[in-house]
Amino acid sequence: MNNAGLNNSKTSKTADKVSIIIIWICLTILSGLVMNWFFSKSDGTILGRFGAIVNAALFAALGIRFVPLWVDAWSKTGKSADIDTFEENGINSHNEAGKNATLSNADLRSVSIRIFFIFLLIDLLIILLIYILQVMSGNREPFKDALNLWRATDSASYLTIAESWYAKTGEWDRLVQLVFLPGYPILIRIVNIFFVGNYLYSAMIISALAFAGAGTMMYRLLRLDYSHEEAVRALKFLCILPGAFFFASPMTESLYLFLSVSCFYCLRKKDWFSACALGGMASFTRSLGLVLFVPVLFEMISHDIKENPLNTNVGIKRIMKYANLLLILFGFGCYLLVNYQVSGNPFQFLIYQKEHWHQSLGLFFNTVSYQTDYAVRCLAEKNYHNFIGLWLPNLFCIFTGLGLMLAAVKKMRPSYTAYYMVYYVIAMGATWLLSAPRYHIALLPLPVALSVISRKRWVEEALTVAYTILYVLYSYAFVNRWNVW
């Protein structure tokens, strides 16, 4: 064996040891949290406890599969470090047959434009579907009046903020609107002033354009690693995720998805400033935008290890590159400044979340426990509307999200999985989780996971039928206000 082979063998063994150490540390921490929770919890059903343990086990399994990919991505000789198929003169990718397929920039622009307008059409079809379901449910209002259904859930708060900003004094329901970030309401106000004159319509126009932009950027992003067929398949699954009708609503889902996907795209092109600036916009739109710090840092480190620059000039560039990460924090910092300006406390939103919604950051597996307990209680009380509209969809997303990622983790960029896991721990760890489907539809890795695990035709068809049925059922629950949030 030559020296190169010996070095590679030593590097591989070192990577394996590092992976094992990280896995054992993480498993020890997770096991400790689960055991402490289990023995200190005095209430709850057996089914809820069992569900929590299964959830923690699935998360651990995902981590076990992810860690070697993480270590590999941060290794100079690792395969993950070499995944970079973007080229200046075209986009290379593999198709299902394993052959290279090249898409010219002109063709890419043409496809992108088509996707943009197709997604605008899908947005209109969502609005039409919701109206048809309203009529089927007995609502005989004219179409214009029926659009007021979209003011339900958090939409009313975003529209009020856009119209009147945050309240320093007044009714409690107005004060607590400070928990909703200002990025989206500011856009609504701008569009309303210059173009429309109706806050609801302005918000829905922004959501439609952001949804179309998100679809376009997702296609361009996925074509860096996947075939045209796989990229389009991911877009299809994005559009039929249960709760995807929220992309047409006057809320932040479409805008956040557009900003986060665009962040990933710029990241892949090594445009660090643009990636972090978009991340900052995302964190000014939604608090979970801060999580983009994780994949951006992940890709930066992976790139540095791969390039291994030695001279001083590149070292200075490296420092400047990492300084861009402050932009992501800056976006959320602006929101804290708004909190201070309105209430005198930059963290007042945390107080309102705790006092009004009983909301704080907890353990994600405890969420499964109390969600299961509430679901069981609803069934016992024959409260089927809450069961179908609230607790069952939440539990479905909590478990299927992990299952999909577990099946697809080795077919995705490690930074996608890192993003998913941190996002999941925070979003699903809410102590009063009501909107798991909404959190999941704006999460880039999920439609990608669905696409890569459905390369076989029968799997794709089965998942398409299943998700379409669930989409329509959940839409019906939303129309009838079965506590769909």
**What would the pLDDT profile of 95-141 be if each residue is shown by its tens digit?**
443 334 556 777 889 999 999 999 999 999 999 999 999 999 999 89
Q: What confidence score (pLDDT) does residue 196 get?
A: 76
| H helix runs in 193-252, sequence order | 199-222, 228-240
Output the average pLDDT for the chain: 91
> Measuring CA to CA, which residue among 138, 187, 127 is closest to residue 161?
187
**Locus of tokens 């409690």:** 172
CA dist list (Å): 293 to 67, 155, 225, 245, 323? 18, 27, 22, 28, 12
pLDDT(93) > 70: no
Across 79-88, 176-185, 381-390, 459-468, least confident range: 79-88
**What would the pLDDT profile of 25-77 be if each residue is shown by its tens digit?**
999 999 999 999 999 988 889 999 999 999 999 999 999 999 999 999 998 76
pTM (predicted TM-score): 0.93
**What would the pLDDT profile of 344-359 be if each residue is shown by its tens digit?**
999 999 999 999 999 9
pLDDT(90) > 60: no
pLDDT(1) > 60: no
Q: What confidence score (pLDDT) does residue 155 get?
A: 96
Q: What confidence score (pLDDT) does residue 307 get?
A: 76
Domain boundaries, the chain: 83-347+455-480
| Residue 88: φ, ψ to 5° | -65, -35
How far is it, in rounded angstroms, from Cα 475 to Cα 485? Answer: 11
Contact present, 207 and 198 (Cβ < 8 Å): no
> Measuring CA to CA, which residue among 254, 238, 166, 165 is closest to residue 203?
254
How far is it, in rounded angstroms, from Cα 409 to Cα 406? Answer: 6
**What would the pLDDT profile of 396-413 be if each residue is shown by its tens digit?**
999 999 999 999 999 999
* Pairwise pLDDT comparison (107 vs 255), residue with the higher score: 255
pLDDT(310) > 90: no
Cβ burial of 427 (10 Å; 0-12, 13-18, 19+) is buried
CA atoms within 13 A on the CB side of 65: 19
How far is it, in rounded angstroms, from Cα 70 to Cα 66? Answer: 6
Q: What confidence score (pLDDT) does residue 106 get?
A: 79
Query: Within its chain, how far is the Cα of 351 from the centroid?
Result: 25
Report residue 397 as tokens: 């997303």
- 90-94 sheet: strands from edge to edge: 86-87, 90-94, 100-103
